[in-house]
Chain A
Amino acid sequence: MIFLHPVAAVGRSFLALLAIIGRVTLYLGATLSHLVRPPFYWREFLSALMTIGYFSLPVVGLTMVFTGGALALQIYSGGARFNAEAVVPQIVAIGIVRELGPVLTGLMVAGRVSAAIAAEIGTMKVTEQIDALVTLSTHPLKYLTVPRVLAATIVVPVLAAVGDTIGILGGYLVGTTRLGFNAATYLQNTADFLEAADIVSGLVKASVFGFIVALMGCYHGMNSGRGAQGVGRATTNAVVSASVLILASNYLLTELFF
């Protein structure tokens, strides 16, 4: 019956996936339940706002300025095939605000923050700091997960908004210095073309991505294995799962909005 082994392997993987989905769902439920019950740890929340938001600004800014510039070049080059070079400002704006801004911000924050959260909480688990929290009458979920998840949900849209602006600026710089667009016209076209719904949908997406990033970081940190290898694996799993969930939820949200 050796020919059945691949089928069994697929079955085992599927069951393992269902088990993980179940555990993450329970963790999500517990997080939401603690979110609405006191106490709330303000100091940890403010600290998470700084760590997730402020310190991610450089990486998000750099990512978006280059992306905006490259997008302007690509649209110009593609548009030239059917004499539509003039649409560069509009397409850069809509591409950045609706799609690339929130998704790239989410992915960059996933790489930077999800890994850091998983490593920090995983190390706390390995060094018995999580047990110490419990013995000090402090619920680890309330103290570690809730402030980070809430902070990321609030601050990633802000990061995305800053990223959107910088991305559009990148397109503007390339458009005006390399592609011969008039500066005032470029900005006017960008402003005229964008609608409030474009901006709001992008920020809602970013908020969902922030929630995913922090939740995956905390979940994998809390479920980290023993030793350096266990923490390393938790870190990798946090980044991979957050990135995949961001891309999957981006598609679902896009279907929902448009």
Chain B
Amino acid sequence: MIELHDVHKAFGSNQVLRGMTLTIPKGSSMVIIGGSGTGKSVALKCILGLIRPDAGTILLDGQNVAQADRDPFLARFGMLFQGGALFDSLTVWQNVAFRLLRGALKRPKEEARAIAIEKLRRVGLTPETADLYPAELSGGMQKRVGLARAIAADPEIIFFDEPTTGLDPIMAGVINELIREIVTEMGATAMTITHDMSSVRAIADNVAMLHAGKIRWTGPVADMDASGDPYLTQFITGSAEGPIEAVR
């Protein structure tokens, strides 16, 4: 279980998180929605320790992440970055097997390659893609490789940062389906950040809306449309009229 209690984070005079409190139950898929610049990615990076919060606590299974031993802590996570964040200088299989080729989870090269090819197959890519470089792949294929890398070491917790950004609706649907399937079959805890309401409906067990640095609404995805919260309703319908200013 991941718990954020009253987390604050500012960059200079820009107060991004203003007391964010959220609980993500173990084995559930939480999707965080909210406008651009509301602090969704910052919250995710605070949990991973990529950014240090100014105040508040973040607990993973009851343990404060700020005091956790970094390597074992990070070994529990997999992450799909918005742009894929694949390493240009490495081939596809070396990207996928990155964690299996070095550090505590190191395996023999052949075994790591076999696992990478199996994970590539799981996300719908053929073994022929294994020896290509990321620059030779389309945007959708890069997302799939990023997804394969995120699940390569069978993590307990997977983060997805804008998994469908920049993809056509069909490819976005394919990625959404893959994420849902993989999270369910691995029994992992998932946290996804997205603006894409079709992703929310495909991926989420629970939804949280972040607005002005705080969680505005949270609940099961089934309750989202009938929440009665004007901010959430405006976000879901994509209306320019409502309490959220269109120009920010």
Contact = CB atoms under 8 A, between A and B. Distances in A.
B103 A132 contact: no
A129 B85 CA distance: 5
A128 B81 contact: yes
Nearest to B90: A43
B82 A137 contact: no
B99 A131 contact: no
B82 A128 contact: yes
Interface residues of A, number: 14
Contacts of A39: 102-103
Given A137-B71, A137-B74, A137-B75, A131 B85 contact: yes
Contacts of A135: 48, 50, 74, 77-79
B121 interface: no
B37 to A, nearest CB: 14
A41 B79 contact: no
Nearest to B71: A137
Nearest to A126: B83
A47 B88 CA distance: 14
Given A127-B85, A129-B85, A134 B71 contact: no
Contacts, number: 49
Given A127-B83, A128-B85, A129-B85, A134 B50 contact: yes
Interface residues of B, number: 26
Nearest to A123: B88
A127 B87 CA distance: 10
B247 interface: no
Contacts of B83: 127-128
Interface in B150-165: none
Given A39-B103, A41-B102, A134 B74 contact: yes
Contacts of A137: 70-71, 74-75, 99, 103-105
A172 B75 CA distance: 60
Given A39-B103, A137-B104, A131 B98 contact: no
Interface of A: 39, 41, 47, 124, 127-129, 131-132, 134-138
16 contacts: A39-B102, A127-B83, A128-B81, A129-B85, A129-B86, A131-B81, A134-B48, A134-B49, A134-B50, A135-B48, A136-B98, A136-B99, A137-B71, A138-B98, A138-B102, A138-B103
Given A131-B85, A137-B70, A138-B98, 19 more contacts: A39-B102, A39-B103, A47-B89, A124-B87, A127-B83, A128-B82, A129-B85, A129-B88, A131-B50, A132-B81, A132-B86, A135-B48, A135-B79, A136-B74, A136-B98, A136-B99, A137-B74, A137-B103, A137-B105
